[in-house]
Amino acid sequence: MSWRTTHDAGAFVAAAGDFLVSRPVEHTVLLTLTDALRRPAGRAAGAPPPWLGWWQEADGRVLAALVHAPPGGLQVSGLPASAVAPLAGLLAGAVGEHAPTAIELPAESAAAFTRAWGPGTAVAYGSRLYRLGTPAAPEPAPHGRARSATAADRALLTAWATAFCAEVGMPTATAAGVVEDRLRHDGIVLWEHQDGAPAAMATLTRRIEGTVRVAFVYTPPEHRRCGYAAAVTAAAGSRALAAGAEEIVLFTDVANATTNALYQRLGYRPVSDRVALRLPS
């Protein structure tokens, strides 16, 4: 039993692909990252190569996976208890550009990882994964309408995505790349006022194994508390379903009671919790 690693996304998929697609809802982030790394424009400009890995049992079964695509933090799937301490040892031994400064893993594994790592870790945030059950329209519905964003909206979208990253603690350097990727597959929905002025946005990942993730839901401060986030989220989910998605998922800040209640009113149901830990440099 051991962790095996590579910088080659193709080799990673050959080894761990079946494991990842076995649970596309729970593995949505790892699948999206891996898909992006296999695309010509999937890596952030100037970023070091990715670091990918899988936990392999003695009988050859793969029971966990990790993806580190800088400048983002390291993402880890659900993993057996026997893999947690070796994971901490693997990361502690990483050096240079491949030494992660943060890790996100299932909440049930966070305490064991912290114990195995030793002093120096700190909780950055907790997140909750939701999947859409029976969709429900926001009540009351705000005035305005949803529309697809286009390249003409690029400057606004990038500014909003950057602001979103800053608010939630994500690397702001990822914002422009996210916008470009989502525009390529018509994956950004705007909610606009009746006069045509944009008021909120939501993005959609590419459909992978029937699953689409709603992300980067953002309303600028001057337009908040008007129902636009609910409206654009509902519109994004409806578009994804109409385009053939079988599962719609999203993440929330587990500590934000407002957004957790909002998404449940729209028909989303909790799946699992994750914890992001800062690692000492």
75 phi and psi, to 5 degrees? -105, 135
Beta bridge partner(s), residue 208:
211
CA dihedral 78→83→85→91, nearest 10 degrees, is: -70
Residue 175 and residue 163: Cα distance in Å, rounded? 9
Cα dihedral 69→75→79→84 (10° resolution) = 90
pLDDT tens for each residue of the chain, 281 residues long:
899 999 999 999 999 999 999 999 999 999 999 999 988 766 666 678 899 999 999 999 999 999 999 888 899 999 999 999 999 999 998 877 778 889 999 999 999 999 999 999 999 999 999 999 999 999 988 999 999 999 999 999 999 999 999 998 888 888 998 999 999 999 999 999 989 999 999 999 999 999 999 999 999 999 999 999 999 999 999 999 999 999 999 999 999 999 999 999 999 999 999 999 999 87
3-state secondary structure of 213: strand
Per DSSP bridges, beta strands 211-218 and 198-204 are: antiparallel
The predicted-structure confidence for 67-108, as pLDDT tens digits, reads as follows 999 888 899 999 999 999 999 999 998 877 778 889 999 999
